[in-house]
Chain A
Amino acid sequence: IAGITQAPTSQILAAGRRMTLRCTQDMRHNAMYWYRQDLGLGLRLIHYSNTAGTTGKGEVPDGYSVSRANTDDFPLTLASAVPSQTSVYFCASARGQATDTQYFGPGTRLTVL
């Protein structure tokens, strides 16, 4: 079934450790996004990529990095995790036009202790 997969489903991580959240889509979408969801704050955009080879910063990029080596994959890396990065992380993709629907993955629940 076409869609977006994220891994891991959940993770408990010690502060200071490096962590990469994986996201893969098989819809050949050009645009991909990373959001974090926090209670009372909704979904906030971390980083995005309009097409393979390009990335951009969202609302809350600090402490996170992304890469887009190909169309399908868009990993999110926390170089040195901090407790404030405890959140649920969602990856999304869209065909790439301004009004295209974004399709979301199931999310990764990350706890940083």
Chain B
Amino acid sequence: DQQVKQNSPSLSVQEGRISILNCDYTNSMFDYFLWYKKYPAEGPTFLISISSIKDKNEDGRFTVFLNKSAKHLSLHIVPSQPGDSAVYFCAASGSRGRKLIFGQGTELSVKP
């Protein structure tokens, strides 16, 4: 049973436009959420996180939105750049534990 789901395996966006990556979760005990970015043949790297006490967190071109009632979070990238092309994983954890549960990943392709 997938507790964290990324239902879009891939997304293609034009350079300069907004990329929106979505993630849904089922466990209401999750209260900390993260996005990781992964390039081919490399390990995932941390991108941005959000605690359940917030509904938005922004870092440069990256913004994560959290809708707790819908158990949904999204990552917005504005403006998108070709170097953003990668696989993006969302992950969730409960604050009482340190284990992350990852989604399946969404492959973003930003076209020049």
A residues neighboring B (CB under 8 Å): 4, 31, 33, 35, 40-45, 48, 50, 58-59, 90, 92, 94, 96-107
Of the listed stretches B12-20, B56-64, B91-99, chain A binds B91-99
B89 in complex: contacting residue of A43, A106, A107, CB < 8 Å:
A43
B44–A98 CB distance below 8 A: no
Q: A98-B93, A99-B95 are in contact. Are A106 and B41 (CB under 8 A)?
A: yes
Q: Answer whether residue B11 sits at the interface, using C-beta atoms and an 8 A cutoff.
A: no
A94–B98 CB distance below 8 A: yes
Q: Answer whether residue B85 sits at the interface, using C-beta atoms and an 8 A cutoff.
A: no
Q: Answer whether residue B82 sits at the interface, using C-beta atoms and an 8 A cutoff.
A: no
B residues neighboring A (CB under 8 Å): 4, 6, 9, 32, 34, 36, 41-46, 49, 51, 89, 91, 93-105
A42–B102 CB distance below 8 A: yes
Point out the residues of chain A lying under 8 angstroms from B44, CB to CB: 43, 90, 104
> What are 8 inter-chain pairs, A to B, with CB distance below 8 A?
A42-B102, A90-B44, A98-B93, A98-B94, A98-B95, A99-B49, A99-B51, A101-B34
Point out the residues of chain B lying under 8 angstroms from A59, CB to CB: 101
User: Closest CB of chain A to B73's CB: distance in Å?
Assistant: 15
A98 in complex: contacting residue of B6, B32, B36, CB < 8 Å:
B32
B98–A40 CB distance below 8 A: no
B46–A42 CB distance below 8 A: no
B99–A96 CB distance below 8 A: no
Q: A41-B104, A43-B89 are in contact. Are A98 and B96 (CB under 8 A)?
A: yes
A102–B105 CB distance below 8 A: no
